[in-house]
């Protein structure tokens, strides 16, 4: 049985997820026992999954077909779960993941429509079993705002370059899973200031984390 605690961060493009994870990391490094926490990101984190990430996001000479894209995200997740997440949870750590299978539901299910959201959930169960986050922090930003934020940045990858319709469908996918598995979701308004959001996240964790990790 897992003794640790599993938190995932989710959001569409430009929701501020990576900034919030780095602010949380700084807070933990300053105030807590860092050995109790493992930060992971999907896809990535191991030599193999960083290669898969490169193939998925920046392999312009031969971009993957939609089904290949879906299976590569799932393959990277199998690696992440078996090699990093489950061992850390079994050691009693708090795992903080920058994206997990909700992203596949939102992007490959909702936005690309490769298969239904339920189909992606079934595929997830086939590939990683019943591993689920205990808590998912979903930073929600209206697609119209997210796309403006992205346009102000240069050097966009294959997925970041998609249009407004794609961003809207990503949100539909998140709406599906955040309703279906509502017990683990906390939805945060991603248009608040970074400091307001960070304070809100620390407050949520102070209530949700098991006693031994109290923030």
- Rounded to 10°, the helix 117-128/164-180 angle is 60
Q: Cβ–Cβ contacts within 10 Å for residue 3, how many?
A: 11
* Interface segment toward ligand TMP; rule CB under 6 A; list 21-29, 36-44, 128-136, 146-154: 36-44
Question: Looking at 43, 133, 143, 173, which residue binds ligand TMP (CB under 6 A)?
Answer: 43
Q: Using the rule CB under 6 A, is 103 a contact of ligand TMP?
A: yes
If DSSP codes are grouped into helix, strand and coil, which group holds residue 3? Answer: coil
Question: Looking at 8, 49, 104, 178, which residue binds ligand TMP (CB under 6 A)?
Answer: 104
Q: What ranges in the chain are assigned the alpha helix state H?
A: 17-31, 47-58, 66-80, 86-90, 101-104, 117-128, 143-151, 164-180, 194-208
CB 38 within 8 A of CB 93: yes
In eight-state DSSP terms, residue 47 is H
Question: Looking at 107, 138, 166, 185, which residue binds ligand TMP (CB under 6 A)?
Answer: 107
Q: Using the rule CB under 6 A, is 80 a contact of ligand TMP?
A: no
Question: Binders of ligand TMP among 109-138, rule CB under 6 A?
Answer: none
Instruction: Tell me, residue by residue from 151 to 170, as one string, x for binding to ligand TMP by CB under 6 A and - for no binding.
Output: --------xx----------
Nearest to ligand TMP of 86, 120 (CB atom): 120
- Extract long-range pairs of 51-56: CB within 8 Å, 24+ residues apart: 52/76, 52/79, 56/158
Nearest approach in angstroms of CB 15 to ligand TMP is 9
Q: Using the rule CB under 6 A, is 178 a contact of ligand TMP?
A: no
In the numeric block, the tokens 């809100």 are attached to 200
Distance CA 118, CA 145 (A): 28
Q: Residue count at the site for ligand TMP (CB under 6 A)?
A: 11
* Interface segment toward ligand TMP; rule CB under 6 A; list 35-43, 177-185, 197-205, 206-214: 35-43
Question: Looking at 7, 20, 42, 49, which residue binds ligand TMP (CB under 6 A)?
Answer: 42
* Selection from 29, 128, 42, 36 nearest residue 81 by Cα: 128
Tell me how many degrees the CA angle 132-133-139 measures, rounded to the nearest 5: 130
Q: Using the rule CB under 6 A, is 8 a contact of ligand TMP?
A: no
Q: Using the rule CB under 6 A, is 73 a contact of ligand TMP?
A: yes
Q: Which two tokens stand for residue 91?
A: 């050691």
Nearest to ligand TMP of 104, 178 (CB atom): 104
What residues line the site for ligand TMP (CB under 6 A)?
A: 41-43, 73, 99, 103-104, 107-108, 159-160
């Amino acid at each position: 049985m897992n003794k640790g605690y599993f938190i995932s961060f989710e959001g569409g493009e430009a929701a501020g997820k990576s900034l919030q994870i780095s602010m949380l990391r700084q807070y933990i490094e300053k105030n807590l026992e860092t050995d109790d926490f493992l930060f992971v990101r999907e896809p990535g984190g191991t030599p193999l999954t960083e290669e898969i990430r490169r193939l998925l996001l920046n392999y312009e000479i031969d971009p993957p077909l939609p089904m290949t894209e879906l299976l590569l995200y799932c393959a990277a997740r199998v690696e992440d779960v078996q090699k990093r997440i489950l061992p850390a949870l079994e050691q009693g750590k708090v795992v903080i993941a920058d994206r997990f299978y909700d992203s596949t539901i939102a992007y490959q299910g909702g936005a690309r429509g490769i298969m239904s959201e339920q189909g992606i959930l079934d595929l997830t169960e086939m590939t990683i079993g019943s591993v689920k986050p205990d808590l998912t922090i979903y930073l929600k930003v209206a697609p119209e705002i997210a796309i403006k934020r992205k346009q102000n940045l240069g050097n966009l990858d294959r997925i970041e370059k998609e249009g407004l319709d794609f961003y809207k469908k990503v949100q539909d996918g998140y709406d599906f899973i955040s309703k279906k598995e509502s017990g683990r979701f906390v939805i945060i308004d991603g248009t608040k200031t970074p400091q307001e959001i960070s304070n809100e996240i620390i407050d949520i964790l102070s209530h949700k984390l098991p006693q031994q990790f109290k923030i």
